[in-house]
Amino acid sequence: PQLVNQIAAGEVIERPASVVKELVENSLDAGAGHVEVQVEAGGSRLILVRDDGGGIHRDDLTLALSRHATSKIATLDDLERVATMGFRGEALPSISSVARLTLASRQPGENNAWRVVADGTESGYEPQPDAHPVGTTVEVRDLFYNTPARRKFLRTEKTEFGHIEGVIKRIALSRFDVGFSLSHNQAPVIRYKPAADDAQGERRIGAVCGEDFLRQAVRVDFASAGLRLWGWVGLPTFSRGQADMQYFYVNGRLARDKLVGHAVRQAYQDVLHHERQPAYVLYLELDPALVDVNAHPAKLEVRFREGRLVHDFLFSALRRSLADLRP
Ligand code: ADP
Ligand code: MG
C-alpha cells in the first residue's frame, strides 16, 4: 500500500502548494470558519494547516490516513453535485506516504483531542491523547524526504511559497465567509477576515486583488435562462505587466476552460478593442447537471453540456458590463 500511496501522491502531490490545497479544502469540507496556514522553507520543511471545523473522531483518525477508506462520495448523485471539494479519499494517505504527517483533532463535545503520527511506514497510528482546541491541525514535515527525485525537482523557497500564496488566494476568492491566514518562516503574509455578507465581499476582492483593481473594476451581475454571472471585471490595461488576475469560478470551484477564455476575450475585443490580459474575478452559477467536473482532483477543467449556450451567455453578459468600463 505504501507504494500505491506514493504513486497516487505522484498524481495529486506535485509540490508543496498541492499539499496546501488538499489540506485547506479538507478544512473547508469540515465547515471551518477560519483556516490558518503556516509554512516554513517554501513548504518543504513544514506545512501546518489548522482549522476550527468539526474535527475527526478518535476512531476515525487512523482511517483518515488509509486510502479510499473515507471518500466523501456516497453515491453517483453526490459525484455529480460534487457537494464537497474532496471526493477521493486519497489526499491524506498520499501526503503521508511522501512526508511525515501528524494529525491532531478534537470534535465539539469531546473532553480532549487525539493525535496520530504517520511517518510513512504505515505502522502504529495508534491515537494518543493530545491538547488541541475543537478543530483539526495537520502538520506535514519534510515533504518528499523519501522520494529524492521529487525533492530535487522543487524550486526555490520563494517560488514554492509563491505557488502556496496563489492557492490561498484562489481558495479565498471562493469563500468570502471564511477567514484565512498564511505565514512564511514565522512572518505573517496573508490575513483575510471572514466577510459577514455580500457587501463585505468587496473587501475580500480588495484584499486579494488589490485596492487598485477594485477601484477601476466594474461589477457584473447578470442572469438569464437559469445562468447567473457575477463578479468584477477590470480594464485590460490594468493587468499589463502584472501577475495574472483571471479568476473564473463555476459553481464555486475554480475552473479553467477554453470556451470561457474565448468568450471573455471576445467580449473585451468587442467592447474595448483589446483582448489581451483581461483582469477579472467572475462567478458562474448554473444547474450542476449542465457541467462535468473533471474527476481528477488536481485539474481544473470543466466541460459544459450546453457549451454554445454558456459561451453566448458569458459573451453578452460581459459585453454589457464592459460597456460601463469604456473610457
Ligand atoms: P477526502 O477529502 O477525499 O475524503 P482526504 O484524504 O483528503 O479525503 O481526507 C480523508 C478524511 O479525513 C476526510 O474524508 C475527512 O473525514 C477527514 N479529514 C481530513 N481533514 C479533515 C479536517 N481538517 N477536518 C475534519 N476532517 C478531516
Ligand atoms: Mg480531501
Domain boundaries, the chain: 2-192, 210-323
CA of 224 to the centre of ligand 2 (A): 34
The pLDDT assigned to 295 comes to 52
* Atom number in ligand 1 closest to CA 88: 3
Q: Name which of 293, 210, 200, 215 is nearest 247 in CA terms.
A: 210
Which fold, 210-323? Answer: Ribosomal Protein S5; domain 2 (3.30.230)
Cell numbers that stand for 72 in this block: 466523501
Single pTM value for the model: 0.90
| pLDDT tens per residue, range 77-102 | 554 444 444 446 788 989 999 999 99
Q: Which residues line ligand 1 (CB under 6 A)?
A: 22, 26-27, 29-30, 51, 53-56, 64, 70-72, 86-92, 136
What ipTM describes this predicted complex?
0.99
The pLDDT assigned to 82 comes to 46
| pLDDT tens per residue, range 184-222 | 999 999 999 999 887 788 999 999 999 989 888 889 999
Q: Which CATH class is domain 2-192?
A: alpha beta
Give the best-scoring range by mean pLDDT among 11-25, 39-53, 110-124, 271-285.
Answer: 39-53
Residues by chain with Cβ below 5 Å of ion ligand 2: 26, 86, 91
Long-range contacts of 78-86 (CB under 8 A, 24+ apart): 79/295, 80/288, 80/289, 81/288, 82/253, 82/288, 82/293, 84/29, 85/25, 85/28, 85/29, 85/253, 86/22, 86/25, 86/26, 86/29, 86/297
Give the angle 186-187-188 at the CA atoms, nearest 5°. 115
Q: How many C-beta atoms lie closer than 10 Å to residue 273's C-beta?
A: 9
Mean pLDDT of the chain: 86
Pairing of strands 291-293, 218-224: unpaired
* Atom number in ligand 1 closest to CA 55: 25
The pLDDT assigned to 236 comes to 67
